[in-house]
Structure 1
Amino acid sequence: MRISIPRSDQGTAKWRVGIGILSIFLFIVPQVHAKAMGDMDINDAIEDEFLLDSSIPENSIQINTSNGVATLEGTVENLLAKERATRIAETVRGVRSVVNSIDVAPAEPRTDTEVKTDVIQALVRDPATESWEIEPEVDNGAVTLTGQVDSWQEKQLAGTIAKGVRGVQSLKNDLTIDYTGTRTDREMQAEIQERLRWNVLVDDALIDVSVNDGAVTLDGIVGSAAEKRRAHMDAWVRGVDSVDASGLEIQAWAKNEDLRGDKYAEKSDTEIERAVEDALLYDPRVVSFNVSVEADHGAITLRGDVDNLKAKSSAEQTARNTVGVVQVDNRLTVTPLTVSDEAIETDVAQALIADPFVDRYKIDVNSTNGIVSLYGDVDNAYEKGQAEDVASRVNGVLFVENHLEVSDNDELYSYDPYVDDWLIDDYAWGDFDRTYSWQSDKQLKDEVEDQLFWSPFVNSDTIDVNVDDGEVHLTGTVDSYDEYRTATKNAFDAGAVIVDNDLAIQG
């Protein structure tokens, strides 16, 4: 619940809220800490998450956790892998912050001229950024971006695209934001509060938002470092000059359902439609298109035209992350600019060669009327998905038929909304089929319960786990579809052959 409080009364109000939180805290904390969360336990949990993630080279990162602060050291081959390691560590329960001291050492040296050329091509090739005026400079693998964009979200997207170029070792994002019009602090504060309220990835009940001359300050308590990052992202609404989220304290007990207020109370379809529409305005891949949103008891239908395949999938992800949404029927039509199949094949091939995750593979590309087919071999499901995502970001691509063969067919890759930029469930080949379990049913049950405990995004106390011949059966309650999906991911991560998720979503 969010209440606007006059600045002169905020001190008294915060004191009253603090007393309320303290009374709940005294009841909840003993339950939360029934299982130990020492630094070594947190260390092990982060290490397990790294082992489960195919994009992180095995044994390449050393972890040292002290008082909940995880320090990462080691070497990876690209900047995106380094940043991904931070986001993965932030999803572990008990992690208060992450210090990333990982070095980036590309597998093969590249000249600054080569890197600059590929950064320019990546920005031009991507339909979302092709018209933006951005100038990259490269000095010994360190990239600096200058120019002007219309929003903080556009600035971050440009940075992500540049980081995804082979040979980029660091990035300084000096893009400036040119807002149109002016807004009052009260307008910005109200919009930030609404964005937090409707984001399923943030429990906002204990977050206080203040804005002073365009400078946003977030104070209060969240349940994980990943939530803190998301809250910081949500605070960048139109007109904001800076965001300080250092006042957000991380406490595992903050995820307790008793502290969520009315966040998951039943919402009307009109409210849900408006919330999805508002969220799409801050999706830099979708904002320029006219997307129609229809809701029917939480089932969302997206209609309209977009000019690239990535915009279609991005709109669906944004809708899924909205409170009250239980299903998305994506009927957006991709109507790209006319590009010859020959040009599409060339652009997709160049994009794959420039991508640091899949550049070492020989991937054949064929385009027929904008339908792109990928052929070749990769090591794991993450790389297969990454190749498809890279192709979907190329102008002219209507659809991707992914025929890449994965050498480890029993290797699992599951979507994490706090970490991933694409949803494997959207891909035709994305359904996971593990053929056997390497654990006894009791061992698997213990592993699933352990995964649920270490996830800060589900309340393991409300979930019962039963296992029969490698099939995991989940019963109990969760508050959102996102928690439902996270519980399924946790079970597969633990080694389940099949997951029968009968969790009831109560809201």
Structure 2
Amino acid sequence: MQRSDTVMKQVMADFERESHLKLQHHSVHIRAGDGALTVEGEVPDIACKKRLVRLTRLHGDGAPVIDQLRVAANPPVGDGELRTHVCERLMQAVDFRNCVICARVKGQLDMLRGTMDQAGDEGSGVIEVTVEGGVVTLTGQVISLSHRRLAGMLAWWVGGCRDVVNLLESMPAEWDGDEEISEALHLVLEADPRVRAEQIGIDVRNSRITLSGRVATKAESRQAEQDAWCLDCTGGVVNHIEVRG
């Protein structure tokens, strides 16, 4: 494994070539220990976070990478408020209308919709939401990998969310691959009111997402890219979306 300072220089050089954002006002560090590389600090958005983790893996000579990067929350949101908003968003989503939703509050399980018996009897799934330090953790079971990815995305869309740990399982188990990633991203873009999904093309090859098409604003292009990065694709995201005018 290379020295952490060497990896850091390589990662930041590649990051500056790939990204329109600069990180001079954000503190990011890579440290080595116990045979792993830990990338930590605060970044402005999910795309920066995922790109830095991917580049650390690329330059880490196969060493495990521990992701402790957090997305800046401006303004900060308390854990209780964030947990409430994530649960509300899940309950409002059409794709989870039959899903049992619950929250873990101070070690106790608060059933917000449905019962555990319903989750088992009806096979509708169950999502448990825990929040600590602005990090949202999702556990339970959902009916497909696309639903798993959509649940994580809905958590990311809540203001104040600094990270999402998606431990949801799909039941029955499904094989993951490029077609599944593409299907999930179509579902996500259609659910995002900030983008016009019909104007965005999606191509996934070897877990690498390439976005194309034409949109009205840079903000819409960047939002589509943010959505794609939230899917945790190991191959990364390439944004070829053109902005009209």
Same fold by TM-score greater than 0.5: yes
Contact 1:141–1:170 (8 Å) recurs in 2:
yes
What does the per-residue CA deviation read over 1:333-352, in whole Å, with 9 as the maximum and x for residues that have no partner? Answer: xxxxxxxxxxxxxxxxxxxx
For the aligned residue pairs, the C-alpha RMSD in angstroms reads 4.8
1:411 aligned residue: none
Aligned length: 202
Contact 2:14–2:55 (8 Å) recurs in 1:
yes
Is there any run of 5+ residues in structure 2 with no aligned partner, and where? 102-128
Distance 2:76 2:191 in 1: 36
Q: 1:287 to 1:107 in 2, by over 3 A?
A: closer
Distance 1:427 1:142 in 2: 33
Which of 39, 46, 58 is residue 72 of structure 1 equivalent to? Answer: 39
Which of 223, 239, 245 is residue 424 of structure 1 equivalent to? Answer: 239
Distance 2:49 2:206 in 1: 28
2:221 aligned residue: 385
Q: Does 1:179 align with 2:172?
A: yes
- Identity of paired residues, percent? 20
1:207 aligned residue: none
Please identify which structure carries the higher strand content. Answer: 2
2:179 aligned residue: 280
What does the per-residue CA deviation read over 1:271-320, in whole Å, with 9 as the maximum and x for residues that have no partner? Answer: xxxxxxx84356443798xxxxxxxxxxxxxxxxx898548746x323xx
Contact 1:145–1:175 (8 Å) recurs in 2:
yes
Q: Give 3-state SS (helix, strand or coil) of 1:285's partner.
A: helix
Which of 175, 183, 188 is residue 237 of structure 1 equivalent to? Answer: 175
Contact 1:280–1:287 (8 Å) recurs in 2:
no
1:198 aligned residue: none
1:41 deviates by 3.9
Contact 1:79–1:168 (8 Å) recurs in 2:
no
2:203 aligned residue: 317
Contact 2:44–2:72 (8 Å) recurs in 1:
yes
Contact 2:212–2:242 (8 Å) recurs in 1:
no
1:57 aligned residue: 23
Distance 2:48 2:98 in 1: 26
Q: 1:95 to 1:329 in 2, by over 3 A?
A: closer
Contact 2:32–2:38 (8 Å) recurs in 1:
yes
Which of 146, 158, 163 is residue 165 of structure 1 equivalent to? Answer: 158
User: RCO higher in 1 or 2 (8 Å CA, sep ≥ 6)?
Assistant: 2
2:149 aligned residue: 156
Contact 1:142–1:171 (8 Å) recurs in 2:
yes
The runs of at least 4 consecutive aligned structure 1 residues that moved more than 6 Å come to 124-127
Which of 74, 79, 82 is residue 107 of structure 1 equivalent to? Answer: 74
Distance 1:43 1:90 in 2: 11
2:65 aligned residue: 98
Contact 1:72–1:98 (8 Å) recurs in 2:
yes
1:104 deviates by 5.3
Q: 1:162 to 1:70 in 2, by over 3 A?
A: same
Contact 1:280–1:286 (8 Å) recurs in 2:
no
Q: 1:283 to 1:169 in 2, by over 3 A?
A: same
Corresponding letter in the other structure for 1:385: S
Which structure is larger by alpha-carbon Rg, 1 or 2?
A: 1
Q: 1:111 to 1:151 in 2, by over 3 A?
A: same
1:79 deviates by 6.4
Equivalent residue runs for 1:191-270 within 5 Å: 237=175
1:44 deviates by 1.7
Distance 1:84 1:90 in 2: 10
Is there any run of 5+ residues in structure 1 with no aligned partner, and where? 1-36, 181-235, 239-277, 289-305, 331-371, 375-380, 393-415, 430-507
Distance 2:212 2:50 in 1: 32
Distance 1:417 1:176 in 2: 18
What does the per-residue CA deviation read over 1:8-33, in whole Å, with 9 as the maximum and x for residues that have no partner? Answer: xxxxxxxxxxxxxxxxxxxxxxxxxx
Distance 2:140 2:198 in 1: 23
1:169 deviates by 3.4
